[in-house]
Amino acid sequence: MKLKVGLLGAGSWGTTVACLTAKNCDTTIWARDINTVKEINQNNTNEKYLPNAILHKGLKASHSIKDTVKNADVIVMGIPSQSFRKVLEEAKPHIRPWVPIISLAKGLEISTKMRMSEIVEEVMPGHPAGVLTGPNLAKEIHFGKAAAAVIAMADKSIAKKLQTVFNSGLFRVYTNSDIIGCELGGALKNIMAIASGMSDGANAGENTRSALITRGLSELTRLGTAMGGKQRTFAGLAGMGDLIVTCSSTKSRNHHVGFELGRGKKLDQIINEMNEVAEGVKTAKVVMELAKDYNVDMPISNEVYKVLYEDNTVFEAFRGLLTHEVGSEKEPG
């Protein structure tokens, strides 16, 4: 029997994942914008978020959250982290018991410092919670470029079953039981991507970018393991893999924010000119609080935060990093 997937959120990644699952399952995607719903159903396109792409012909769109989720065997949340709880609460009355809920978001909720799976557990107790994450640029995957991802859940048997929902041709999906590490890797790397973008925008050079990626991996691993993630997770697809692509690609939203900051643009202007959410901008606030809570030194994150929220310049950020005490490569800092 074919599973039914209800996917909430029709941004570029949500739409891409819906097209992947539509190859394996009956899939309905919810969009807030009625015009997007009509476009998907009538033209098999979503030009705002996936220009020049033809969507899977079996994908159906709906303007009703109820109709999207009421018969679904799997719920996929393609909703940005700061809106995640609200949309899930709207869907809650219509979701059948015990249905797995999978997050695509790579952020942390500002008000609670929660990961998305923790929000699922709080709002929807009894529902298996998971995350699909990894080095995944939506447009490349939609146009058939090879990629790999991780489906992370505490229950290995459910994760294995869901592999067949998302796995598709050149999109290879692995399982991982370390949901904490996978979620934190996806959230924390966005701040490093902003730092890398700042470096590229300021024309600091490829050596600088390499150093930022490497020290950034060390930094996010320190906080991630302090919060309960497994160290090996941060050396895998959800950690190093996602970090490399997000810090190096002009297709990355967070790198784009950093790049424009490096060129001298103001944050408000950059955000206003973007179609989609760069999760790292708001996640930076949460991460600085978590760094204090867990007593973890995070110099790169701290300098990014100062640029985003304390009006520091990119050059002041690099000066701050250069004056940070240098210790052993294996030690914090």
- Sequence spans of domains, the chain: 4-177, 180-323
Q: Is 242 annotated as a binding residue?
A: yes
The 10 Å Cβ neighbour count of residue 293 is 12
Instruction: Please state the rounded mean pLDDT for residues 196-222.
Output: 95
pLDDT reading at 331 higher than 70? no
Question: Do 4-177 and 180-323 show the same overall fold?
Answer: no
- Residue 63 contacts residue 38 (beta carbons within 8 Å): no
What integer pLDDT is reported at residue 216 of this predicted model? 95
pLDDT grade for 187, boundaries at 50, 70 and 90:
very high
What integer pLDDT is reported at residue 62 of this predicted model? 98
Instruction: Please state the rounded mean pLDDT for residues 232-244.
Output: 97
pLDDT reading at 150 higher than 90? yes
C-alpha distances in Å from residue 20, one per residue of 140, 170, 176, 194, 256:
13, 10, 20, 28, 26
Q: Is 138 annotated as a binding residue?
A: yes
User: What is the Cα Rg of the chain in Å?
Assistant: 19
Average pLDDT, the chain: 95
Q: Is 32 annotated as a binding residue?
A: yes
Tokens 């930022």 appear where?
Answer: 212
Q: Is 193 annotated as a binding residue?
A: no
pLDDT reading at 325 higher than 60? no
Kindly report whether the global pTM for this prediction surpasses the value 0.85.
Answer: yes
- Establish whether 189 is a catalytic residue: yes
Which of 189, 265, 266, 306 is catalytic? The answer is 189
pLDDT grade for 128, boundaries at 50, 70 and 90:
very high
pLDDT reading at 327 higher than 80? no
Q: Is 189 annotated as a binding residue?
A: yes
pLDDT grade for 170, boundaries at 50, 70 and 90:
very high
What integer pLDDT is reported at residue 318 of this predicted model? 85
Q: Is 74 annotated as a binding residue?
A: no
pLDDT grade for 326, boundaries at 50, 70 and 90:
low
Assess if CATH 3.30.70.100 describes domain 4-177.
Answer: no
Instruction: Please state the rounded mean pLDDT for residues 307-312.
Output: 95
* 3-state DSSP assignment of residue 71: coil
Q: How far apart are CA 81 and CA 17, in angstroms?
A: 17
What integer pLDDT is reported at residue 106 of this predicted model? 96
What integer pLDDT is reported at residue 117 of this predicted model? 98
What integer pLDDT is reported at residue 53 of this predicted model? 96
Give the model confidence (pLDDT) of 249-290 as tens digits.
999 999 999 999 999 999 999 999 998 889 999 999 999 999
pLDDT grade for 329, boundaries at 50, 70 and 90:
low
Instruction: Please state the rounded mean pLDDT for residues 117-124.
Output: 98
Assess if CATH 1.10.10.60 describes domain 180-323.
Answer: no
pLDDT grade for 328, boundaries at 50, 70 and 90:
low
Instruction: Give which of 144, 13, 149 is closest to 76, Cα–Cα.
Output: 13
pLDDT grade for 156, boundaries at 50, 70 and 90:
very high
Tokens 């470029």 appear where?
Answer: 145
Q: Is 236 annotated as a binding residue?
A: no
| Residues contacting residue 137 through CB under 8 Å, at least 6 positions apart | 147, 245, 249, 251, 252
What integer pLDDT is reported at residue 322 of this predicted model? 74
* 3-state DSSP assignment of residue 237: helix
What integer pLDDT is reported at residue 291 of this predicted model? 97
Q: Is 12 annotated as a binding residue?
A: yes
| Residues contacting residue 87 through CB under 8 Å, at least 6 positions apart | 8, 9, 65, 77, 79
pLDDT grade for 69, boundaries at 50, 70 and 90:
very high
What integer pLDDT is reported at residue 83 of this predicted model? 97
Report H helices in the chain. Answer: 12-22, 34-43, 65-69, 81-91, 116-123, 138-142, 156-166, 179-201, 206-226, 231-234, 242-248, 253-262, 267-272, 279-293, 299-309, 314-323
Q: Is 252 annotated as a binding residue?
A: yes
Q: Is 254 annotated as a binding residue?
A: yes
